[in-house]
Amino acid sequence: MARRSGLTLLLLLLPPLVLGRGPLPLVLNTWPFTNTTDAAWRTLASGGGPLDAVEQGCATCEREQCDGTVGFGGSPDELGETTLDAMIMDGTTMNVGAVGDLRRIKNAIGVARKVLEHTAHTLLVGESATKFAESMGFISEDLSTSASRALHSDWLARNCQPNYWRNVVPDASKYCGPYKPPGFLKQEGSTYKETGNNYGHDTIGMVVVHKMGHTAAGTSTNGLKFKIHGRVGDSPVPGAGAYADDTAGAAAATGDGDILMRFLPSYQAVEYMRQGEDPTVACQKVISRIQKYFPNFFGAVICANVTGSYGAACGKLPTFTQFSFMVYNSLRNQPTEEKVECI
């Protein structure tokens, strides 16, 4: 009887998990970036841990400039410069390393890993993040390419449209800056201006669950095209861009980071899974929560629990009705693209 009571107490203390196990290890990432998935899987297969897999997977995307939205040479800001955001999180220790507005360093996820391993901090930003990267042995080099310079030139020729300014003079919907407030403390509305059909933003978000159930998650991106200089999105923010916790699972988000970071969707998804929600349902609940406030927001979330079950969800828009993500686990002999219908 004492032994049975002890077992009952142990079960009550354990975090609730979804019933039904999936095959482990598991690699999950946003968008159909096959080489990224494969790099992470090969890292695990060669004896690497989940942090190693996330780093190598995201680094592959950075080198390959996935869809021009990850790594160097893409998404110039309004001054024409490409800057990078990245984050990596260890779900065993809850340690995080991240960089935002990283300049002139190609391997953002690698710098984020150094922040995790060699500092007591979580997030370094801007020029100071670059100096830290240089002290860690990373090479400083121009992240612009002929393609990114052409994008910026075309944007200037279109009178700087689209942009992310509001309530300024001159009229940001018609003219380039520099911009100023229309009057001292004058406010002309505070409603978020959603950015129309600009849905081409594809952050790499990755979740890895080791065969022993240890988790890691990470992100890398060059942010929004023509963003205001210095803008940092959700990707390097723990709980927003990604989150991992060995006692429940891991998640990562992609989409409009300025909205996503307000809801900490990755953290919220992990908490839903902790409460026993299936990963797909957890992702859907996160998307629905955001849609209550921003029905036209662009975004998606991937989720996995520590038993290997996984899922994804996305917010439906006229030009975005399906979301593709990659899966690799022990039942497959190659990375597999899966799709979900947006809600």
Instruction: Just list the catalytic residues.
Output: 203
Instruction: Judge contact between 324 and 31, C-beta under 8 A.
Output: yes
Give CA 244 to chain center in angstroms: 12
What is the residue-wise DSSP string for 168-200?
A: -BS-TTTS----B-SSTT----------TT---
Phi, psi of 36 (to 5 degrees): -65, -50
**CA neighbor of 108 nearest in space, from 77, 137, 141, 133:** 133
Tokens linked to 44: 């695990």
SS3 146: helix
Give CA 122 to chain center in angstroms: 16
**Measured between alpha carbons, how far is 81 from 21 in angstroms, rounded to an integer?**
46
Q: How many residues does the chain have?
A: 343
- Cis before residue 162, ω within 30 degrees of 0? yes
**Measured between alpha carbons, how far is 12 from 9 in angstroms, rounded to an integer?**
5
**Measured between alpha carbons, how far is 135 from 261 in angstroms, rounded to an integer?**
30
CA dihedral 161, 165, 167, 171 (to 10 degrees): -30
Amino acid (one-letter) located at 242: A
**Measured between alpha carbons, how far is 146 from 153 in angstroms, rounded to an integer?**
10
Rounded alpha-carbon distances, angstroms, from residue 87 to 64, 191, 230, 316:
18, 29, 17, 27
Amino acid (one-letter) located at 286: V
- Orientation angle between helical segments 34-45 and 50-64, nearest 10 degrees: 150
Tokens linked to 339: 């799709």
